[in-house]
Amino acid sequence: MSRGRLIVLEGAEGVGKTTQVARLAARLDASGVPVERYREPGGTPLGDEIRRLLLEPAAHEVAPAAEALLFMAARAQLATRIEARLRAGVVVLLDRFFLSTYAYQIAARGLPETLVRDANKLAVGGLVPDLTLLLVADPAVAQERMRSRGELDRMEREDPAFHERVAAAFREAASQAWQQAHPEVGPVRLVDAEGTEAAVARRIAAELTARWPETFSVLHESQ
C-alpha cells in the first residue's frame, strides 16, 4: 500500500481554513479517496483538552513558553496518529501545523526560534507535510469572517499588532528562500482565499491536482 499524503491548510484568523478542510475532506470521501481530517491543537482526547485550555476566552493568562509547549504536547500526541494513517495510505488533511507555530509563537510572541524548532523536532520526529496550502485574504475580509462566527477565542482576541506580526510571518513563509531555510515545514503554496467558498475550493483543487493528478483529479470530476 502506498503512503498517504499530509496536506496542511494554514493562514491567519478568518481566512477559511476550517471550512475548506471540511469541504475538501467531504469531496475526497465522496470520490472514494481514503481521507481523514484533524485540527491543531486537537485530534486526540489529550489534544482536545489542551485546545480548551489554550483557546477558551476565559482561560487564565498563559505565558508564551507555556503556550508553545502546550501546542507541542498536543502535536506530539497527534503526530503518532497521523503517521499511522499515512502508513495506511490515507490522505490526512490538517488544519494548522508547525507553520502556525512560527507565525504565532516565534514571530508574534517573540520566542527563540532555535529552541522552538528543537521542541518541534522532539514532538514530530521526521514528520513533514507533503504540502502546505497557505490561504491569504485581505485583513478586512478575514476580520469580517471572524466576527460573523460569533464569540472569538483567546488567540482571535489578541490586539491588531499581534495579528499583523502573524500575517507578516505567513507572508515571509511564502518565499522560496524561507522554505529552503525551514525544511521541517515542507513546500508551501499560496492560495487566494477571497471570493466564494466554491471559488477557493477550486483553487485548492487546482494546486493538489497539479502536484498529484493520480489522487486529486477526482476533485475536478466531482465539481
- Chain-centroid distance of CA 162 in Å reads 18
* The three three-digit cell numbers of residue 177, written as one number: 528562500
Rg (CA), the chain: 17
Its sign, for the CA torsion 165, 24, 145, 199, is positive
Residue 74, domain CATH = 3.40.50.300
CB atoms within 10 A of CB 87: 11
* b/e code 51-82 from CB counts within 10 Å (16+ = b): bebbbeeeeeeeeeeebbebbbbbbbbbbeeb
For residue 23, pLDDT over 80 is answered with yes
Q: What is the pTM of this model?
A: 0.93
1 assigned to some structural domain:
no
**pLDDT tens-digit readout, 27-85:** 999 999 999 999 999 999 999 999 998 888 766 688 999 999 999 999 999 999 999 99
Nearest to 218 by CA among 22, 3, 32: 32
Phi, psi (deg, nearest 5) at residue 125: 65, -125
For residue 24, pLDDT over 60 is answered with yes
Cis peptide leading into 213, omega within 30 of 0?
A: no
pLDDT at residue 222, as a whole number: 57
**Number of structural domains found in the chain:** 1
For residue 4, pLDDT over 60 is answered with yes
Strand, helix or coil for residue 97: coil
**pLDDT tens-digit readout, 125-164:** 999 999 999 999 887 776 777 767 667 777 888 888 998 9
Which bin fits 96, alpha (ψ -120 to 50), beta or left (φ > 0)?
A: left
pLDDT at residue 72, as a whole number: 98
pLDDT at residue 220, as a whole number: 79
52 assigned to some structural domain:
yes
pLDDT at residue 150, as a whole number: 66
pLDDT at residue 59, as a whole number: 64
For residue 193, pLDDT over 70 is answered with yes
The stretch 182-209 carries a mean pLDDT of 96
**pLDDT tens-digit readout, 83-119:** 999 999 999 999 999 999 999 999 999 999 999 999 9
Which structural domain range is residue 194 located in? 6-221
